Amino acid sequence: MSETIASLKFGDDGLLPAIVQDDDGGDVLMLAWMDAEAVRRTLTSGRVTYWSRSRGEYWRKGDTSGHRQYVRSVASDCDGDTLLVRVVQLGAACHTGERTCFDGRALPVVVGDPVTD
């Protein structure tokens, strides 16, 4: 376990981003941050723990809101500096009460097309 965590690359602030994806359906729910201890807790406890940059404390998702996240799988990326956490999400993932933190927040884009562009 400690070897697994030691292989990850944390930023200068000791954190790496964790992408959280709904294991049922594949929606991207949110992105939050973990230090080595938050990763250890997430890998070993079945529940997802983050480091809150704003509050400066560990934050086990759902302890206050009831919107718990149960770990289904965790993968690192090719550089070892990002995690993808697949979860069973109870209730809303976003503190606003929306299902995902990205709901209703589309930006205006020019859509690309692989055939014509």
Binding site for Mg(2+), by residue number, is 77, 79, 81
Distance CA 60, CA 53 (A): 13
C-alpha triplet 71, 20, 73: angle, nearest 5°: 35
Examine residue 6 and tell whether it contacts its own copies (CB under 8 A).
Answer: no
CA-closest candidate to residue 85, choices 14, 4, 31, 44: 31
State which of residues 10, 15, 36, 47 lies at the interface with its own copies (CB under 8 A). Answer: 47
CB of 100 to its own copies, least distance (A): 8
Examine residue 82 and tell whether it contacts its own copies (CB under 8 A).
Answer: yes
State which of residues 55, 56, 57, 110 lies at the interface with its own copies (CB under 8 A). Answer: 110
Examine residue 56 and tell whether it contacts its own copies (CB under 8 A).
Answer: no
Q: How many residues does the chain have?
A: 117
CB of 30 to its own copies, least distance (A): 7
What does residue 42 show for φ and ψ, rounded to 5 degrees? -65, -40
Would you say 51 and 33 are in contact if contact means Cβ atoms under 8 Å apart? yes
Task: Please state whether beta strands 57-60 and 49-52 pair in parallel, antiparallel, or not at all (unpaired).
Answer: antiparallel
Interface contacts to its own copies, rule CB under 8 A:
1, 4, 17, 19, 21, 25-28, 30-31, 42-47, 68-79, 82-84, 87-88, 90, 94-96, 98, 101-102, 105-114, 117
